[in-house]
Amino acid sequence: MQIIIKQYLLTILVLFSISFTSCQQGSSTTTASASTINETTSAISDFEIPQLLEREGAIAKLSEWDYVQKTAKELQAKMKKNPADHKSSIYLALLYMQEARITGEHPYYYPAALKILDYVIAQKPANKQMHFQALVSEASVYLSQHEFQKALDVSKEALALEDHDAQVYGALCDANVELGNYAEGVKMADKMVSIRPDLRSYSRVSYLRELHGDYKGAIEAMKLAVSAGLPGDEATAWSRITLGNLYRNYGDLENAAIQYKTALAERPNYAFATAGLAKIEIAKGNYEEAKKMLNEATEVMPEFSFYQTLAEVNQIEGNTEEVNKLNSELIQMLQEDQESGHNMDMELANIYLTLDNNPEKALTYAERAYNKRPNNITVNQAMAKIYYKQGNYETAAKHIEKALQTNYKDPELLCLAGLVKYKMGAKTDGITFIKESMALNPKMSNDLTKEAKAIL
């Protein structure tokens, strides 16, 4: 049991891999001077340390929770005692970032982590590694908030301080990929894996392989990521879910289920695993069982994607009243996230398009995302789908071309590409794309696939 508890903070400990042996050349690099402490004491009097939220439901019963509470209190006490204790401050921010992932309380924990990290960065730590860690951690928060340009800018600041740390290359990889700079993303991933071949670097390699049309290679890389993690650790469970999603997205429901069930066995009440199993039941047409599982997942954490999938199931069944209710709740949840600094434009666009059947409103949000990252594949796929729904096939075709720039073989993208080409008059090419999408995932079922199957 003690091993499982300690595994909870493994991700944070790995992230916080600061080498103090390289900072022993003088006491000024490792210990704050009396004058520095005096200067920062007045600053912390105006700085209210964000508190840990109480967990609710099943995740409050996990054995790690007592350890998390104890650790948070110890770190907060150290910060109050010594305002120049940047290590404790950064560690607390990382703890809150992990809590955001586990509890789904993004609107609270991400701003809280940023507040702490901003405080540390403002002190301009004499210890270069501390300054670096604060910057690269802040970049990670910006990535989680979908503020990708900010993440890239801060990552470059961190790189200027330390150019041989895998973390910064991971952040640079993620930011570049999300901004549509795929060649640069590949370079950063290669650099990261050369420094530290672990769960985090293998995960990025996996995603880049998938984006470049090698989904089988993506699966192999994600298997390496899972193997590199410890059973029960949240990062390992997340990697298993990603592996399961890869299997499911390409039609292998059996292996997907194995990964979701293994994640649940290693980390009980892991909501993302329960939601993954629900999606398998949806693919099989077992809607009542799927709804039961999704409700179980929402009881563990308020993750918007669980509610969205639940709404989609009710939409399939024709439960209009329930769909409208869930749709309203979803929009409210996402707007709360927006207000906290979490950019949810793409998520709102998707909901307005699929659940609200309002492509005009969806386009408003999708265009905001497109203006920030016009070369991103996922953004262009969303834009293409919206324009397709509006009957603007010529504009949809332009976005499809961008979405296919890396030879991405996502079955839903290929299906959409086929429909657009077919409507544009290139019927042979359109049918070829549709057949390829169906071959990659014969179990795919949505409004587009129904339309595509009617063409074949």
* Cβ contact 403:413 at 8 Å: yes
**Mean pLDDT value across residues 297-312:** 95
> Residue 62: what pLDDT?
82
Query: Does 80 have pLDDT greater than 50?
Result: yes
Tokens of 175: 């930011």
Closest CA relative to residue 130, chosen from 78, 185, 96, 93: 93
Could you report the per-residue pLDDT of 428-451, keeping only the tens digit for each?
999 999 999 999 999 898 889 999
Give 2 or 278, the one with higher predicted confidence: 278
* Cβ contact 273:263 at 8 Å: yes
> Residue 64: what pLDDT?
87
> Residue 46: what pLDDT?
61
Query: Does 21 have pLDDT greater than 50?
Result: no
Q: What is the 3-state secondary structure (H, E, C) of the chain?
A: CHHHHHHCCHHHHHHCCCCHHHHCCCHHHCCCCHHHHHHHHHHHHCCCCCCCCCCCHHHHHCCHHHHHHHHHHHHHHHHHHCCCCHHHHHHHHHHHHHHHHHHCCHHHHHHHHHHHHHHHHHCCCCCHHHHHHHHHHHHHHHHHCCCHHHHHHHHHHHHHHCCCCHHHHHHHHHHHHHCCCHHHHHHHHHHHHHHCCCHHHHHHHHHHHHHCCCHHHHHHHHHHHHHHCCCCCHHHHHHHHHHHHHHHHCCCHHHHHHHHHHHHHHCCCCHHHHHHHHHHHHHHCCHHHHHHHHHHHHHHCCCHHHHHHHHHHHHHHCCHHHHHHHHHHHHHHHHHHHHCCCCCHHHHHHHHHHCCCCHHHHHHHHHHHHHHCCCCHHHHHHHHHHHHHCCCHHHHHHHHHHHCCCCCCCHHHHHHHHHHHHHCCCHHHHHHHHHHHHHHCCCCCCHHHHHHHHHC
> Residue 56: what pLDDT?
87
Rounded to whole angstroms, the Cα distance separating 42 from 83 reads 9
Q: What is the pTM of this model?
A: 0.89
How confident is the prediction for the chain on average, in pLDDT? Answer: 90
Could you report the per-residue pLDDT of 247-286, keeping only the tens digit for each?
999 999 999 999 999 999 999 999 999 999 999 999 999 9
> Residue 30: what pLDDT?
34
Could you report the per-residue pLDDT of 362-392, keeping only the tens digit for each?
999 999 999 999 999 999 999 999 999 999 9
**Mean pLDDT value across residues 293-304:** 94
Rounded to whole angstroms, the Cα distance separating 167 from 90 reads 15
Residue 414's pLDDT band, with cuts at 50, 70 and 90, is: very high
Could you report the per-residue pLDDT of 216-252, keeping only the tens digit for each?
999 999 999 999 999 989 999 999 999 999 999 999 9
> What one-letter code names the amino acid at 246?
L
Residue 1's pLDDT band, with cuts at 50, 70 and 90, is: very low
Which residues have C-beta within 8 Å of that of residue 184, sequence separation ≥ 6? Answer: 172, 176
* Cβ contact 366:378 at 8 Å: no
Could you report the per-residue pLDDT of 33-66, keeping only the tens digit for each?
434 434 444 444 467 999 999 998 888 988 889 9
Could you report the per-residue pLDDT of 144-176, keeping only the tens digit for each?
999 999 999 999 999 999 999 999 999 999 999
> Residue 445: what pLDDT?
87
